[in-house]
């Protein structure tokens, strides 16, 4: 097991990813180590903070961000066409 970890560390150092922090952040404060792309070695960025494409890593895999609910204004509800 140790040999495999050494190989992984050598590979990460060779491609310039050894500077990245591997620790997960505290609750409420995401880091790159919490990102799906970083955890699955799909990220090519070396930034000090999570980027705009941050997606939390979870056992379910890549989960799309939640969409906000569509709220109709008062006047728009009256003008909306009736369903057929």
Note the pLDDT tens digit of each residue in 2-37.
565 677 777 777 766 554 555 555 667 888 888 899
Residue 2: what pLDDT? 54
Whether 46 is covered by a domain: the verdict is yes
Domain boundaries, position 38: 21-59
Contact 40, 59 (CB under 8 A): no
Look at the block and give the residue holding tokens 């495999």.
4
For residue 75, what pLDDT is reported? 72
In a domain, 48, yes or no: yes
**pLDDT greater than 80 at residue 72:** yes
Number of structural domains in the chain: 1
Residue with more model confidence, 35 or 74: 35
In angstroms, the CA 65 to CA 5 distance is 33
Both tokens of 44, joined, read: 């090519």
Which whole number is the average pLDDT over 51-73? Answer: 87
User: Is 16 part of any domain?
Assistant: no
Contact 20, 32 (CB under 8 A): yes
CA gap 81, 84 in Å, rounded:
9
Beta bridge partners of 74: none
């Amino acid at each position: 097991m140790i040999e495999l970890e050494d190989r992984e560390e050598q590979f990460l150092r060779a491609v310039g990813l050894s500077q990245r922090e591997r620790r997960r952040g505290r609750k409420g404060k995401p880091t790159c180590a919490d990102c799906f792309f970083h955890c699955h070695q799909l990220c090519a960025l070396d930034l000090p903070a999570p980027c705009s494409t941050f997606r939390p890593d979870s056992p379910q895999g890549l989960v799309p961000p939640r969409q906000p609910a569509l709220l109709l204004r008062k006047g728009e509800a009256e003008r909306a066409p009736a369903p057929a």
